[in-house]
């Protein structure tokens, strides 16, 4: 038995661990799924920002694309002053100057002789579509070229391509035209970029195109000048940039080194959907887990109860066998003594007779109880409910059992409400129920008083059976009407019984459409109350019989041996 119990607890423990483990795993993977949805959505946006920044670079550099059509030897000779500037070079520069991205275009030889700022330097005249010498050179151009030359020299030795672009902080693009075989720079084209155009007319529409409004994309992108701390354009003009909004920033590789695309990620419908699906899944999981736990605990409790019942039934069988044997043995011994005729003393004869009578009574009561349980359990009990006055039945019961009270030294005190409405009940079962309660009150209280009260209680007639004994512990009260249940205390251990009386009371009360309750505090006795529903038809007539000032009561005391 102990082995099974351990096994059951072990199974319950393993079941709980399995449920908790599976739940934790599920919660973890739901969160991981949500996180990966969030991060993949963020990653996609980041790569879109990278794309935009690369497009800007491609757009700027594509101007130099057509320079490949040039004959570089002719250009080289023109730079050295040996030949005139090739027409194709002028045509290409004219084309570039028509591009709104560039304000002005300057050209200088590879040695950058004018880089000291004293000129002259060649500037492309848009109207005449020719390079012309000028001393009027903006500082940005000579500075830019000066810087360009230094850096260019450093890296020119291993340079494979004929053109190289780079950008400086003055927002100019320098294109070095390179003789790749002899490794020197033929000349520099310096193109001044139109910031305004680049930011407002090129980058802004692209951002708009790629990301759209904040609602659909869930982000705001600002084009920021990090040196001046200015916002040049933004996908959400209503939202002013603040440093704490910055979730991600993307610079323009190799160009516009003080410009940055800065992004703030907001909630968006896709993420909200993922979030609410996460919560939905968690709720379903929670409900399933609760159900599983409930089922597991229910199975465990049921198994436990069945086990307890089996233990009680086994105890009951042993008990019944013992209980049957004891009176039989007493009767057998008394019978033997009487039958062999050796006992002649009148007193002893009467004492043997009394023994046989008492024991047979005990035997009968026990067999009746067993039959009661068997009948109710098999559903074969047939009741004959008739309209009855409870007070009359109580009187009848007390009258018939006067001797038993007397022999136990108990006073039964009656307090009956007069004019009680009649109730529909089966007389025999009523007497059984009342008998069981009064017998218990006598058996378990060890006090000289048992009170029986009858009262009208709302739609019921109530019969209280109250004793003044030790009462029933709180923890046992919910089991008290279970079959074979007996409180494990000293008093019960010393009192004969099988745990059937109260279960019979409960069953019979239900069969009579009533119910039974218990109120008890340890050390302060116990009150069992029987509730029988009042017959509605007769209710008015009965109430009308009551005296006008309300309820009248009668008290009777069946005083017995002290
Ligand atoms: P039995 O009396 O045959 O054991 P019952 O079903 O009548 O079976 O009672 C079940 C248990 O309830 C008893 O064993 C006893 O422990 C407890 N009990 C019943 N009535 C009282 C009472 N009036 N006072 C204290 N304990 C009681």
Question: Once rounded to an integer, what is the mean pLDDT over residues 95-121?
Answer: 80
Residue located nearest, by CA, to atom 19 of ligand 1: 440
Q: Are 174 and 188 in contact (CB under 8 A)?
A: yes
Residue located nearest, by CA, to atom 8 of ligand 1: 499
Tell me which residue of 397, 234, 218, 179 sits closest to 405, measured CA to CA: 397
**C-alpha distances in Å from residue 442, one per residue of 313, 429, 451, 491, 499:** 25, 20, 11, 12, 16
Which of 319, 440, 469 should be mutated for ligand 1, with most atoms under 8 A from CB? 440
Residue located nearest, by CA, to atom 23 of ligand 1: 441
Mean pLDDT is highest, among 210-224, 269-283, 301-315, 506-520, for: 506-520
At residue 173, does pLDDT exceed 60? yes
**C-alpha distances in Å from residue 131, one per residue of 64, 86, 93, 108, 445:** 17, 11, 9, 10, 126
Distance from the CA of 496 to the center of ligand 1, in angstroms? 10
Distance from C-alpha of 153 to C-alpha of 162, rounded to nearest angstrom:
14
Distance from the CA of 435 to the center of ligand 1, in angstroms? 13
Q: Which residue has the higher pLDDT, 547 or 149?
A: 149
Q: Are 516 and 481 in contact (CB under 8 A)?
A: yes
| pLDDT at position 239 | 87
Q: How confident is the model at residue 546 (pLDDT cuts 50, 70, 90)?
A: very low
Here the tokens at position 360 are 């047979």
Which of 480, 482, 489 should be mutated for ligand 1, with most atoms under 8 A from CB? 480
Distance from C-alpha of 56 to C-alpha of 58, rounded to nearest angstrom:
5
| pLDDT at position 550 | 40
Tell me which residue of 453, 456, 386 sits closest to 424, measured CA to CA: 386
Residues within a 6 A CB radius of ligand 1: 436, 440-441, 444-445, 467, 469, 472, 480, 485-487, 492, 497-503, 526
Ligand 1 nearest-atom number relative to CA 436: 7
2-49 pLDDT, tens digit per residue, is 677 788 788 888 888 998 899 899 999 988 888 888 788 788 888 989
CB-CB neighbours of 214 under 10 Å: 18
The pTM of the whole model exceeds 0.85: no
The DSSP letter of residue 68 is: G
Which of 434, 501, 503 should be mutated for ligand 1, with most atoms under 8 A from CB? 501
């Amino acid at each position: 038995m102990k082995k099974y119990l351990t096994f059951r607890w072990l199974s319950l423990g393993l079941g709980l661990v399995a449920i908790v483990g599976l739940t934790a795993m599920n919660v973890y993977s739901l969160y991981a799924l949500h996180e990966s949805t969030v991060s993949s959505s963020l990653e996609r946006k980041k790569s879109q920002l990278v794309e935009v920044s690369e497009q800007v670079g491609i757009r700027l550099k594509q101007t130099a694309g057509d320079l490949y059509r040039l004959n570089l030897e002719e250009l080289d000779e023109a730079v050295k002053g040996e030949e005139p500037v090739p027409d194709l070079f002028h045509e290409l520069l004219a084309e570039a100057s028509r591009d709104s991205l560039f304000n002005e275009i300057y050209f200088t030889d590879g040695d950058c002789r004018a880089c000291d700022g004293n000129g002259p330097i060649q500037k492309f005249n848009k109207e005449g579509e020719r390079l012309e010498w000028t001393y009027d050179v903006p500082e940005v151009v000579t500075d830019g070229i000066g810087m360009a030359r230094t850096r260019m020299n450093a890296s020119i030795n291993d340079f494979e391509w004929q053109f190289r672009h780079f950008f400086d902080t003055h927002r100019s693009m320098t294109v070095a035209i390179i003789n790749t075989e002899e490794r020197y720079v033929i000349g520099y084209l310096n193109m001044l970029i139109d910031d305004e155009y680049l930011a407002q007319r090129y980058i802004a529409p692209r951002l708009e195109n790629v990301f759209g409004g904040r609602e659909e994309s869930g982000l705001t992108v600002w084009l920021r000048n990090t040196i001046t701390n200015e916002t040049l354009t933004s996908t959400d003009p209503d939202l002013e940039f603040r440093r704490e909004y910055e979730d991600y920033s993307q610079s323009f590789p190799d160009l516009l080194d003080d410009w940055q695309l800065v992004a703030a990620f907001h909630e968006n419908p896709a993420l909200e959907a993922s979030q609410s699906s996460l919560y939905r899944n968690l709720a379903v999981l929670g409900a399933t887990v609760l159900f599983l736990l409930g089922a597991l605990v229910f199975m465990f409790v049921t198994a436990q109860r069945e086990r307890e019942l089996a233990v009680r039934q086994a105890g009951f069988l042993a008990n019944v066998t013992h209980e049957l044997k004891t009176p039989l043995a007493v009767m057998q011994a008394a019978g033997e003594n009487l039958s062999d005729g050796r006992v002649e003393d009148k007193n002893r004869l009467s004492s043997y007779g009394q023994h046989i009578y008492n024991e047979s009574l005990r035997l009968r009561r026990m067999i009746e109880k067993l039959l009661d349980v068997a009948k109710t359990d098999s559903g074969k009990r047939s009741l004959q409910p008739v309209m009855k006055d409870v007070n009359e039945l109580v009187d009848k019961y007390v009258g018939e059992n006067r001797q038993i009270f007397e022999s136990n030294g108990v006073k039964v005190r009656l307090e009956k409400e007069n004019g009680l409405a009649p109730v529909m009940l089966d007389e025999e079962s009523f007497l059984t129920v009342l008998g069981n309660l009064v017998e218990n009150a006598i058996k378990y209280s060890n006090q000289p008083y048992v009170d029986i009260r009858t009262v009208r209680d709302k739609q019921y007639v109530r019969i209280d059976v109250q004793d003044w004994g030790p009462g029933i512990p709180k923890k046992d009260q919910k089991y008290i009407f279970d079959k074979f249940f007996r409180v494990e205390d000293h008093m019960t251990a010393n009192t004969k019984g099988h745990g059937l009386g109260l279960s019979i009371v409960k069953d019979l009360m239900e069969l009579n459409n009533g119910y039974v309750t218990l109120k008890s505090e340890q050390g302060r006795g116990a009150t069992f109350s029987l509730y029988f529903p009042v017959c509605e038809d007769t209710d008015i007539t009965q109430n009308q019989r009551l005296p006008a000032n309300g309820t009248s009561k009668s008290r009777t005391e069946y005083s017995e041996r002290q």
